Structure 1
Amino acid sequence: MATNSSTASAAETTDRIPRALPPFARSAVLATAASILALLLALTTRYDYVTDELYFLAAGKFYPAWGYMDQQPLVPFLAAFLDWAFPGSLFAFRLLPAITTALGAIVTALMARELGGNQRAQVLAAAAYPLSPWILLNGHWLTASTMELLEWTAILWLLIRWARLKHGGIDRDRLLLGIGLITALAVQTKFQVLVLIAALLLSIAITGPRSLFARPMLWLAAAIPLVTAIPTLWWQARNGWPALAMGTAVNNENDRLLLVPISLFYAGLVVGAACCCYGVVRLLRAPELRPFRFLGWTAIAVFLFFLVAGGRPNYVAGLFGLLFAAAATGLQRRTGKLLWPAYLLSAILPLALLPIYPLGFLARHAELPSYVRLYETGWPELTEAVARAYRELPAEQQRRTAIIAENYYLAGALDVLGRKAGLPRAYSPHRGYWFFGAPPESADTVLYVGNRNRLSVHFGRSRELGEVETGLVNVAQGNTITLYQGPKQPWPALWPRIRTI
């Protein structure tokens, strides 16, 4: 009897999911989330809007639509609503992404708990989440990538919970309905979530639990994002499926061979990268995680899809929380003295990427790499330079002048901030902005802002009016303002010819 009992006990510890979850490390996990929230809120008003925030704000405020070339309508709608409710408030505008990032750490800890992680594992998982440079930096912005991180993490958590309960003989199919609702939001954020869903279903079909496909709630959950996506799909079809062209552009911009190393860099030097690799190994090999094998194969399938089809390294960032949680369950009983020092060392890079430096310091140190300086500064100087050039034109000519920016970065800034400075709306032939329309037929003069893709061959006369001077290294600095007159073709014929992707 003793032998049988010990054998059964060993089997239980190597291949079962406990019915009773480990206690939730409420105080430590919530303290971690609160620290993330406090840090991000303290930096919300540093510098200025980032390029994508300006683009989303312009799209939602001035060009609302059921779809866009490069994103879906949820974040533009949120940006427009927040700007309407709290005009010009960067704090209010960035409160939601800060909360979203803090919630991501909590959900990551809950995933670790569902995978059998004790309180120490839950804290390790939650603490690893903000150590990802990509995750923490996106928590500073209201962008589609920010919202996508929490959406993927929440979908995976609910599915893990459903699988754990099902393995224990408990049907909790309302969790599948929750997955359907979150997926509906995710589809309206970015189409990449469809890759995650497809990878999950394929992995489950191969490794189990195949009983999922017999649950009626699964098909109801699947219908929710399909039905809610109809307007977006209709917009895509009516405009020639521009999302496919965007996919081609992304593929051309990225080196497939760098997908894995850059993804690991985005996960975080030391802790994040190590946890991603260890998390995949545990999901595929750990005996106690056998019921979750499908998650390991899902992670591999998502990576392989973007490796073959082409994609940015951040497209897989929604898997980081899952992999951190799986890794933490393997670290929970280790007492290595280097674990927490590794966490502290890993915090240096994500903190350094945030807007923590005074602008005067950045101006004196142009050699210092700073992503936020590059994409978050220079907008007032850009707007003033273009407004000054516009005001110098005769009043009659102003009425016939269109402002065209080389790319959506500049166009978004001029559209959102320029209108307050008395400028007309901005146009751009670049990516999603091209779909916002061409200048009117009456526009025979163009103020063009940019250094590449000049319009000289399409106009009879051109004259450089000056350059944008910001005093910092950023995307606005050094752009030339050029006056073009005498278009050689009407705008309906010219606009498709100057389109850039």
Structure 2
Amino acid sequence: MTTETTDPLVRVEAGGRGRDGDFARGPVLLIAAAVAAVLAIASESAGYFFDELYFLVAGRDHLAWGYFDQPPLVPALAGLLDRVAPGSLLVFRLPVTLGAALTVVLAALIARELGGGRGAQVLAAGAVAVSGTVLMSHYLATYTVDPVLWTLLLWLLARWVRTRSDRLLLLAGVVTAVSLQTKFLVPALWAAVAVGVLLCGPREMLRRPALWAGAAVAVVATVPTLLWQAANGWPYAQMGAVVRDEWPGTTGFVLGVVLFAGLVGAPLVLVGLIRVGIALARPPHRHPAAWLAVALVGVCVAFALSGGRSYYTLAILPALVALGAVKLTAWARGRARRTRGTLAALGFTVGAAALLLSVPVLPAAWLAQIPGAPAAAVEAGERVMEPGAMAATAAYQALPDGTRRQTALFAQIYPLAAAVDVLGERAGGPPAYSPHRGYGYFAPPPESQTNALWVGFETVPDTFRRYFADCAPRPVDGLEVWLCTGRTTPWAAMWPSIRSR
């Protein structure tokens, strides 16, 4: 039995829309639990990713209202978790492990709000479970915290469209406030939602006082980090250029989006957008999910044109997948059921296998028997800065006692500096300083340290060397090490001019 929606192309399972009792609780929660278990096991891998090391140091040793490259939430969270359970990767990554599981559930709930029955909900949850959203949640990072926040935000808006309960709009403002403490990207989502609502309705959303009350909450909560940015010359504004310099162009962006969507998710995204587009081309029928489709496409286009990284779209991928799951299951009801089942089983099997081979969850002995397993590369990547950190620490400790007390250890790039601060510290090493990115906005060394031991992968730059009477190389295999002595300018005076991005 089926019931009609306002969309002439979509037929929804009976009871599939608008009832509290039709949520596919059992299978969806089972999928979410499996995701949490896989990520929890994978957490105890080789070590911290270099961005995690940076977040840890920033929150543990340099807690502030803002940073060169982000607001304060993730560093503060990293520092807190390290204090709760020092050195425990399981605890350190627990927020994103639970966040990924919740994102799976929220994808199913969005599918439900868009009219999807149990089949659509399970399909959406499963597709997210084997997508890049879960794969990247192996790490605690800004780009792995945002997906659960954005998916929660979109679920609140989708539910408001159906229920018109204004408390949902106020809650959306609170979620936005939290997201603004992670990255400054969520205004792009709200701008796209506004365009979608203006073009396709319900325009009533933009007239609700609760929406603007929520916006006020978000603005007030963001004032401290904005004041930090203003006091430091708005360094976050430089991140756009940094991203464009490091990331491939539009072709690479599109390819990355497809890969992150996964074998199951990519077809769902395509199906959902195509069928919404067909419905929009047949007025006067108004598609109930049109505002969402326009918003999600708008965000993708904005990221692509601005030179954003493809993994930014992990934050909207669950909603895209949910939209496609609703469209596909509605269209396919009664059509080649056996074929559909076979294709779905094949897609999920391959997707799950790819996930298990991409995060370090299988025993190392098994992975060693699988040539090219991505999980092996993941674990190797977690060790990539360790040799440099140990070599830099050893080079510092090899200095004569008198020289060492007057010398600050400088790392060329922030990943090396963070590795020295965490891994080198465990070997009795000193704190690290660096002019690179976020480290360039930490406090400089004390004035009593008149020398600098420069460590990196390139020779000491002239922008740094010119502030010392002499810089001489020191022999260290695999690393450029220079001892610069006789500082001629106070650290505070030279600090802004040596910063690099």
TM-score by length of 1: 0.88
Query: Partner of 1:49 in structure 2?
Result: 48
SS in 1 for 2:417: helix
SS in 1 for 2:177: helix
User: CA 1:157 to 1:452, structure 2 compared with 1: closer, same or farther past 3 Å?
Assistant: same
User: CA 1:200 to 1:9, structure 2 compared with 1: closer, same or farther past 3 Å?
Assistant: closer
Query: Partner of 1:387 in structure 2?
Result: 393
Shifted more, 355-364 versus 93-102: the winner is: 355-364
CA displacement 1:425-448 (0-9 Å, x = unmatched): 111111111101333333332222
- Verify the 8 A CA contact 1:280 1:299 in the aligned structure 2: no
Shift of 1:217: 0.6
- Verify the 8 A CA contact 2:114 2:288 in the aligned structure 1: no
d(CA) in 2 for partners of 1:331 and 1:296?
Answer: 15
TM-score by length of 2: 0.88
- Verify the 8 A CA contact 2:391 2:479 in the aligned structure 1: no
Query: Partner of 1:485 in structure 2?
Result: 485
Shift of 1:234: 0.6
- Verify the 8 A CA contact 1:22 1:113 in the aligned structure 2: no
SS in 2 for 1:84: helix
User: CA 1:483 to 1:373, structure 2 compared with 1: closer, same or farther past 3 Å?
Assistant: farther
User: CA 1:403 to 1:363, structure 2 compared with 1: closer, same or farther past 3 Å?
Assistant: farther
**Does 2:346 match 1:349?**
no
d(CA) in 2 for partners of 1:361 and 1:448?
Answer: 41
User: CA 1:444 to 1:368, structure 2 compared with 1: closer, same or farther past 3 Å?
Assistant: farther
Query: Partner of 1:290 in structure 2?
Result: 287
Query: Partner of 1:264 in structure 2?
Result: 258
Query: Partner of 1:436 in structure 2?
Result: 442
d(CA) in 2 for partners of 1:183 and 1:424?
Answer: 39
Out of 463, 466, 477, which is 2:473 matched to?
463
Structure 2, unaligned runs of 5 or more:
none
Out of 178, 182, 194, which is 1:189 matched to?
182
SS in 2 for 1:47: coil
Query: Partner of 2:157 in structure 1?
Result: 159
- Verify the 8 A CA contact 2:10 2:327 in the aligned structure 1: no
d(CA) in 2 for partners of 1:85 and 1:328?
Answer: 40
**RMSD after superposition:** 2.7
Count of aligned pairs between the two proteins: 478
d(CA) in 1 for partners of 2:476 and 2:369?
Answer: 24
User: CA 1:127 to 1:286, structure 2 compared with 1: closer, same or farther past 3 Å?
Assistant: farther
CA displacement 1:325-372 (0-9 Å, x = unmatched): 111112322521312202212233333221246668989999776552
**Does 2:314 match 1:317?**
yes
Out of 207, 220, 234, which is 2:213 matched to?
220
- Verify the 8 A CA contact 2:396 2:453 in the aligned structure 1: yes
- Verify the 8 A CA contact 2:195 2:294 in the aligned structure 1: no
AA of the residue aligned to 2:423 = L
User: CA 1:68 to 1:366, structure 2 compared with 1: closer, same or farther past 3 Å?
Assistant: farther
Query: Partner of 1:304 in structure 2?
Result: 301
AA of the residue aligned to 1:155 = L
AA of the residue aligned to 1:235 = W
CA displacement 1:394-443 (0-9 Å, x = unmatched): 21111111111111111112112333333221111111111013333333
- Verify the 8 A CA contact 1:22 1:119 in the aligned structure 2: no
Shift of 1:13: 6.5
d(CA) in 2 for partners of 1:451 and 1:16?
Answer: 60
AA of the residue aligned to 2:222 = A
d(CA) in 1 for partners of 2:373 and 2:26?
Answer: 38
Query: Partner of 1:499 in structure 2?
Result: 499
The 5-angstrom pairing of residues 54-93 of structure 1 reads 54-93=53-92
- Verify the 8 A CA contact 2:451 2:486 in the aligned structure 1: yes
Shift of 1:239: 0.9
Q: What is the percentage of aligned positions where both structures have the same residue?
A: 40
- Verify the 8 A CA contact 1:284 1:297 in the aligned structure 2: no
- Verify the 8 A CA contact 2:473 2:483 in the aligned structure 1: yes
User: CA 1:126 to 1:360, structure 2 compared with 1: closer, same or farther past 3 Å?
Assistant: closer
User: CA 1:256 to 1:9, structure 2 compared with 1: closer, same or farther past 3 Å?
Assistant: closer
d(CA) in 1 for partners of 2:189 and 2:320?
Answer: 14
SS in 2 for 1:240: coil
SS in 1 for 2:22: coil
d(CA) in 1 for partners of 2:32 and 2:286?
Answer: 26
Query: Partner of 2:147 in structure 1?
Result: 149
d(CA) in 2 for partners of 1:367 and 1:486?
Answer: 50
